[in-house]
């Protein structure tokens, strides 16, 4: 039997595949375009789209364990719920679902509330699943490169309450560990939930200081203007998505998203090491940028 990875061509899906490859698993990758998808040797491309339940049914033939990463689209909730329904009906032995850290609290943020609704479905149906709740991705801040290098500004408006950002490599590794654990189990395992978080409570000013040290020049925090952020974001993303992100950053500013000591301890036990830090990421990014 095989592990099927959805969202396989995206940032997180690629990390999951990379970490699965080191674990001698039979891996399939769901993609709308298997003829053009480029995966590493040992990964089998399978045609499918989470918006098309029949294609998911076909893709699940011969699959026993499933990684569910619904795309960040307007009907993300529907796609995730229908995918889990099809998996449940197919008798899938193990599921790893990518949710979000703070989904239960951020009731007015669409993509948070949607993911938490999926968690409720998993619980209600008693699905054999691991729910992974990643915080804001550290690597999202690679988009800050021009502002940091050209203007000396860190512009992500995360505020002063603190966010325990997570490295995407830790997300991929945690998912791979749980997928293989469930795949190798003789019978379905009980539900587990992990917060995927970093070791630091990061603020806008604090991150500016980290970048100042990494780049060897003064970096200032660009401030908390969410309206300006939404307008900037609309030049790159649909308006619904820009507003969704503005609502998320508003919650970061008013409440934060800080991991507990127990969150960090459980993740470190799962990974077998401490999660990666933002400072290490910034140092690596600065080194790479200097070579460019």
Q: What order of strands is seen across the sheet that includes strand 192-196?
A: 43-47, 27-31, 2-5, 63-68, 94-98, 129-134, 192-196
Sign of the C-alpha dihedral computed for residues 235, 237, 112 and 210 taken in this order: negative
Domains and CATH numbers, the chain: 2-135+167-196+260-273 (3.40.50.720)
User: Tens of pLDDT along the chain (292 residues)?
Assistant: 799 999 999 999 999 999 999 888 899 999 999 999 889 888 999 999 999 999 999 999 999 999 999 999 999 999 999 999 999 999 999 999 999 999 999 999 999 999 999 999 999 999 999 999 999 999 999 999 999 999 999 999 999 999 999 999 999 999 999 999 999 999 999 999 999 999 999 999 999 999 999 999 999 999 999 999 999 999 999 999 999 999 999 999 999 999 999 999 999 999 999 999 999 999 999 999 998 7
Supply the pTM of this predicted model: 0.97
Question: Nearest to residue 275, comparing CAs of 179, 166, 138?
Answer: 166
Instruction: Please report the pLDDT score of residue 292 as a whole number.
Output: 72
Cβ atoms of residues 14 and 8 within 8 Å: yes
Instruction: Please report the pLDDT score of residue 1 as a whole number.
Output: 74
Residues whose CB is less than 8 angstroms from the CB of residue 288 and which lie 6 or more positions away in sequence, other chains included: none
Instruction: Please report the pLDDT score of residue 209 as a whole number.
Output: 98
User: d(Cα 173, Cα 169) in Å, to the nearest integer?
Assistant: 6
User: d(Cα 147, Cα 6) in Å, to the nearest integer?
Assistant: 33
Cβ atoms of residues 30 and 20 within 8 Å: no
């Amino acid at each position: 039997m095989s592990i099927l990875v959805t969202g396989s061509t995206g940032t997180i899906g690629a990390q999951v595949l990379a970490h699965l490859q080191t674990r001698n698993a039979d891996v399939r990758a769901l993609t709308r375009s298997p003829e053009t998808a480029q995966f590493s040797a040992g990964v089998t491309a399978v045609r499918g789209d989470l918006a098309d339940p029949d294609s998911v049914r076909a893709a699940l033939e011969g699959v026993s364990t499933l990684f569910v990463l619904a795309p960040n689209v307007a009907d993300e909730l529907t796609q995730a719920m229908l995918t889990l329904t099809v998996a449940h009906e197919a008798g899938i032995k193990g599921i790893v679902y990518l949710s979000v850290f703070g989904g239960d609290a951020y009731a007015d943020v669409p993509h948070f509330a949607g993911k938490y609704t999926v968690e409720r479905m998993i619980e209600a149906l008693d699905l054999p699943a691991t729910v992974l709740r990643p915080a804001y991705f550290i690597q999202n801040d690679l988009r800050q490169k021009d502002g940091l290098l050209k203007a000396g500004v860190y512009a992500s408006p995360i505020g002063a309450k603190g966010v325990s950002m997570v490295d995407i490599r830790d997300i991929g590794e945690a998912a791979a560990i749980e997928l293989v654990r469930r795949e190798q189990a003789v019978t379905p395992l009980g539900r587990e939930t992990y917060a995927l978080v970093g070791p630091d409570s990061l603020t806008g000013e604090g991150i500016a200081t980290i970048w100042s040290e990494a780049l060897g020049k003064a970096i200032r925090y660009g401030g908390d203007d969410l309206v300006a952020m939404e307008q900037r974001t609309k030049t790159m993303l649909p308006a619904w998505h820009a507003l969704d992100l503005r609502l998320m950053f508003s919650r970061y500013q008013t409440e934060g998203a800080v991991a507990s000591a127990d969150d960090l301890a459980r993740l470190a036990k799962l990974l077998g090491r401490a999660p990666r830090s933002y400072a290490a990421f910034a140092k690596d990014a600065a080194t790479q940028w200097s070579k460019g």
